Amino acid sequence: MMWAALGRLAIPSLPDTVVRIDGDLLRADVGRPIQWRVAISGDTLIGLEHIAGGKIVESITREAGGIVTYRAPGARRRLELTILRDEPGSFDASIWSL
């Protein structure tokens, strides 16, 4: 789930994926029964839900303004991150020499 907060989708491969497209929003339900629910807008992961026993056990949402929120409803946990910049800065080449 932490990789999803950073925009990388890394879920296990499961049979029976159902994909829907609504404008520029792609939604996918992965697994039978559904274990993951994914939402992608353009080239950006905007939502990921991990589902067990028919209930959402963890979720990540990415909102406008760089707000990324992780929720674990059953554990009553929430973490909010603010992404200040999507592109990494550069490093001085001298840091790579010994």
In tens digits, what is the pLDDT along the chain, a chain of 98 residues? 777 877 778 888 888 889 999 999 999 999 989 999 999 998 888 999 999 999 999 999 998 888 999 999 888 899 998 988 766 667 777 877 76
Please give the pLDDT value at position 98. Answer: 61
Rg (CA), the chain: 16
- pTM assigned to the model: 0.77
Rounded to whole angstroms, what are the CA distances from 73 to 51, 59, 60, 81?
11, 9, 11, 17
Give me the phi and psi of 49, to 5 degrees please.
Answer: -120, 135
Please give the pLDDT value at position 69. Answer: 94
- The length of the chain is 98
DSSP 3-state of 66: coil
CB 37 within 8 A of CB 29: yes
Measured CA to CA, the distance from residue 29 to residue 90 in angstroms comes to 38
Please give the pLDDT value at position 78. Answer: 93
Strand partners, 35: none
Please give the pLDDT value at position 28. Answer: 93
